[in-house]
Chains A and B, each alone.
Chain A
Amino acid sequence: MKKLASTLPNMILSLGTVTVVAGAILGGVYAVTKEPIARQDAERQVQAIRQVAPEFNNDPTAESREIKLADGITCTVYPAMKDGRLNGAAVETSSNNGFAGEITVMAGFNADGSVRDYRVLKQAETPGLGSKMEMWFRDPAGARSVIGKNPETTPFYVTKDKEQHGAIDGITAATISSRAFLESMRDAYQAYKQFQEKK
């Protein structure tokens, strides 16, 4: 077959066809995958709650509440109730002070306010540096771990931040990412505390 000549009608026709076909395919795939993607997202969230929150027998997603903090950040608190008593909570929060975009963290607290566990839900930090936050802040080496520590009694700042008496070792060469992560943990704790008070 001979190649179509570059006349105006030919160009409009062929480029139009290509874009229409591509648009139709994209629309179709989007429609088909929309529901599974939403399901995956919801599942990921429930899974994260289950991993970080203490034992519960309620439905934390249904009983979740949004709490707006003084600094304008909105956290979502998923209470973990055991037989009607508050056993702790999972708190989802995010920070825009990371090195590359938003960092979303799901933090789990025990009833006394100490950190039970955490999951980094979303981050785009430098691979090999800031992206290590998922593992770093649970590493028992030095003062890296935040697990079991209470933000009330332990200053959740990197040790470099002397003014705040920082007590958590930040990720080597990723101080900005570490600060953003710890900021999220502090916010999550504030939200949890407010949630407890309002209760």
Chain B
Amino acid sequence: MKYWKIIYNGIVPGNPVFVLLLGMCATLGTTSTALNGLMMGLATAAVLICSNGVVSAIKDFVPDKVRIPAYIVVIASFVTVLQLLINAYMPGLNATLGIFIPLIVVNCILLGRAEAFAGKHGVVESLCDGLGCGVGFTLALTLLGSVRELLGTGSLFGISIYPEDYGMLLFVLAPGAFIALGYLIAIVNKIRKA
């Protein structure tokens, strides 16, 4: 029950994108289509779960003053290992996900969760937190990607909904990302307060 609550907290009340406003760089940059958003979310979630687990396991061994570099090394290692493995054994996934993986390391959700949660809680709780935030991040990115893809190119997950010529190019570009994100945050806030 306790674990379920931690997972749920990452998805709705403490959603990394809509509530904590973490990882904006990756969020805005990669969500030009729903599929890109989904892929980036899943890749980040995988690293987040691993890094949360390890950070929580080594937290007592790392003195406070050097915890940030230590956590960064852990996160960067996981990202690199993931990248090498996908490169070597999953060529299909590499084609769609390849360009997003190095971007994960600069995502402040990872360090944010390591600092705010994994550094203070046990391993199992931290894994749950990683899972919850990962799922929350994935959902948020997919939602933002869907909105931008639908308004920008008239399709959803590559399936054409209306002719592309009527799409607003703005939403594929960076300004559209800010506008769409702003409105989504407003809507999510309204729903959360209701």
Contacts and interface: CB of A to CB of B under 8 A. Distances in A.
Nearest to A25: B77
Contacts of A172: 169
B62 A18 contact: yes
B60 A3 contact: yes
A19 B60 contact: no
Interface string A168-193: 00001100000000000000000000
B33 interface: yes
Interface residues of A, number: 33
B32 A126 contact: yes
Interface string B41-57: 00000000000000000
Residue picked from A6, A127, A129, most chain B C-beta under 10 Å = A127
Interface residues of B, number: 35
B62 A14 contact: yes
Nearest to A30: B84
B70 A3 contact: no
Interface of B: 30, 32-33, 36, 58-66, 69-70, 73-74, 76-77, 80-81, 84-85, 87-89, 91, 94, 99, 149, 152-153, 169, 172-173
A12 to B, nearest CB: 9
Interface of A: 1-7, 10-11, 14-15, 17-19, 22, 25-26, 29-30, 32-33, 36-37, 40, 43-44, 124, 126-129, 172-173
Contacts of B32: 126-128
Contact of B63 (A7, A25, A36, A126): A7
8 contacts: A4-B62, A14-B66, A22-B73, A25-B81, A29-B81, A29-B84, A37-B87, A128-B33
B36 A127 contact: yes
A30 B87 CA distance: 11
- Sorted from nearest, which 4 A-B pairs have the closest CB atoms? A33-B88, A36-B88, A128-B32, A6-B65
Contact of A15 (B70, B85, B149): B70
